[in-house]
Amino acid sequence: MSTRKHTALPKARTLIEALPWLTRHHGKTVVIKFGGNAMIDEELKRAFAQDVVFLRHAGLRPVVVHGGGPQISAQLDLLGLESEFKGGLRVTTPEAMNVVRMVLAGQVQRELVGLLNEHGPLAIGMTGEDAHLMAATKHYADIDGERVDIGRVGEITAIDPGAVQALLDDGRIPVISSIARSSDAEDAASGGSGVFNVNADTAAAALAAALGAETLMVLTDVEGLYEDWPDSDEVISRLTASELEKLLPDLASGMVPKMRGCLHAVRNGVHTARVIDGRVQHSILLEIFTDEGIGTMVVPDANTIEGAT
């Protein structure tokens, strides 16, 4: 004879709590940006892969855009090259560009694809260079009103999401590195050097808009957008595009491309853009499938879009 205690009820409640969210998000595209600072340990990376695969099996269409800033800096350091940032962007010499490409496409992307594919033949890696996904032109940093040359940093000029849509239609999970081909034909024809280093938050936001995604989710190493960083740890849970626009000039480095990206996304058809804590295991599932939600959510101004709650 065997007996069983009824411990299953809380589990069932959790599943039932997910039901309205499953219905709401079914068939919707979610672009998830996984920041280099959130990839701090193996457990977290595995949990991230599980969450993304869960979304896919729950009927959503997840797309991963990954970062790798700290990993690039570590490799540059090994090679005796310095890392310098201006306005939150890496000053990218042609030599550094080769390292950026090697680390993002050859190391970080490969690792994430491998972790996702432990769950089945799902993930396919690509960079913005593939199938004309991302075209860019040279970006100049604006430092106190001055136009500063920061090397091979790109500003996205066009996105062709066709290849990503095709992969999604085929049930795959695209994993994208933020490298773009030059939209200048002559530069592009120069092969290896005809590419640009694009900030991964910016790339994720532009892709979310081009795909008509429902949600942009940015995983980082803080709980969300702090109101008075670094003096307070009060997280802003929800703000409109206009409210965010007013805050932008006061934001510091790492948050600038993230929040600019969120603003761009919600102003271009994405229903919600969220910044969440990637250090919390299964933060993606908590954000998508539970009533609480975590982190900071940005919504369009006239919040008339059904589902932007």
134, two tokens: 């991302």
Tell me the residue type at 260.
Answer: R
CB atoms < 10 A from the CB of 201, how many?
28
Q: Give the helix/strand (H/E) hosting 128.
A: strand 123-128
- Asked if residue 217 binds ligand ADP (CB under 6 A), the reply is no
Cα-Cα-Cα-Cα dihedral of 125, 126, 127, 132, to 10°?
-170
* Closest distance to ligand ADP from the beta carbon of 237 (Å): 13
Question: According to CB under 6 A, which one of 100, 207, 211, 225 is a site residue for ligand ADP?
Answer: 225
Contact with ligand X2W (CB under 6 A) among 69, 151, 224, 278: 69
- Of the listed pieces 43-51, 92-100, 180-188, 223-231, which binds ligand ADP according to CB under 6 A? 223-231
Mark 77-108 as b/e (b = at least 16 C-beta within 10 Å): eeeeeebeebbbbbbbbeebbbbbbebbbeeb
Burial 262-273 (b: 16+ CB within 10 A, else e): bbbbbbeebbbb
Place of tokens 């996304």: 265
Burial class (CB in 10 A: 0-12, 13-18, 19+), 185: exposed
Binding segment for ligand X2W (CB under 6 A), chosen from 113-121, 193-201, 232-240, 243-251, is 193-201
The residue within the footprint of ligand ADP, chosen from 116, 222, 266, 298 (CB under 6 A), is: 222
Residue 90: CB minimum distance to ligand X2W, A: 4
Q: Which stretch binds ligand ADP (CB under 6 A): 29-37, 102-110, 154-162, 205-213?
A: 29-37
Annotated binding site: 68-69, 90, 197
- Return residues touching ligand ADP (CB under 6 A): 35-38, 67, 69, 220-222, 225-226, 229, 251-255
- Return residues touching ligand X2W (CB under 6 A): 35-37, 67-69, 72, 89-90, 100, 153, 178, 197, 199-201
